[in-house]
Structure 1
Amino acid sequence: MPSLIVIFGLLGNITTGLVYLSPAKTFWRIVKNRSTEDFECIPYICKLLNAYWWVYYGIIKPNSVLVATVNGFGAVLEISYVLLFLLFAPPQAKARTAILCGILDVAFPAAAILVMQLFLQRDARIDAAGLMCVFFSMMSYGSPLSAMVSPVA
């Protein structure tokens, strides 16, 4: 009989998977209209960064395969969302998205993980990755607020 930890872990994965799927309707609209309209890229870039860190944490922390798998699924979805955004965004938004994605979703995680792998012991690496996960989770769930900024009249 599965333990309560596994049962609640699977329920958490289902919930997290649904959170990652929640923008699908928006992206269906983007594809259908062939335009990103006034949508912002920042929430998707932040969610991708968050997913990367949770995958890394799930890989380095023992017995955390559920964390790694659901966030791996999320990372694939977020990569798809960012690519669709890049495909249908106007030139200025496309350039901004590509730059932000290159810095936040490629260069920064690669450099940070490399430094952690080279200079931190196993337990310190797990702790540091966990702190990064908490920080980027807060950032990713707060990032939709960036769309609420109104232009100065």
Structure 2
Amino acid sequence: MKKTNAMRILDGLKIPYEAKEYDDDGEHELAKGAAERTAEKLGVAPESVFKTIVFRTDSKEIVVFCQSAVHEINLKKARNACGAKEVTPVKQEELLALTGYVRGGCSPVGMKRKFRTFIDSSVMSQEKINISGGQRGIQLTMTPADLVKACDAEVVDLVLE
């Protein structure tokens, strides 16, 4: 497996992780069971798979949220976390230029620039979590604390109830 930028960053930070390859079917929508399929392919619990969502605030700041892939993000909680009046998802065609990653392969680790990052507090109930490795079909498994450290992230409640 070729090292991704996310892996190189984790190596540089001396953060242990396990890289896992899986067959990516190109379907990355929560409503269509993407988390469950990814978890099944990896042999892990669906709630341990965390997705990365990139938003633009009303002040044009780019912010990153990591949310368990079995839950939807609560936009009100996301706005409160980053102090914005509005947040809108970055358009798919902008994602690569902004982050260096494509949809379905967007990792919170190793983006082109450092953006403020928020991780849902459910992460702390997991022994290990799985995030995109920076390429479709690659997931990285690590401890929640190591992900928080690698992203210099804030842990906040983001779950839609």
TM range (shorter): under 0.3
Greater relative CO (CA pairs within 8 A, separation 6+): 1
Larger Rg computed on CA atoms: 1
Normalised by the length of structure 2, the TM-score is 0.24
Normalised by the length of structure 1, the TM-score is 0.25
**Structure richer in strand, relative to its length:** 2
**Structure richer in helix, relative to its length:** 1
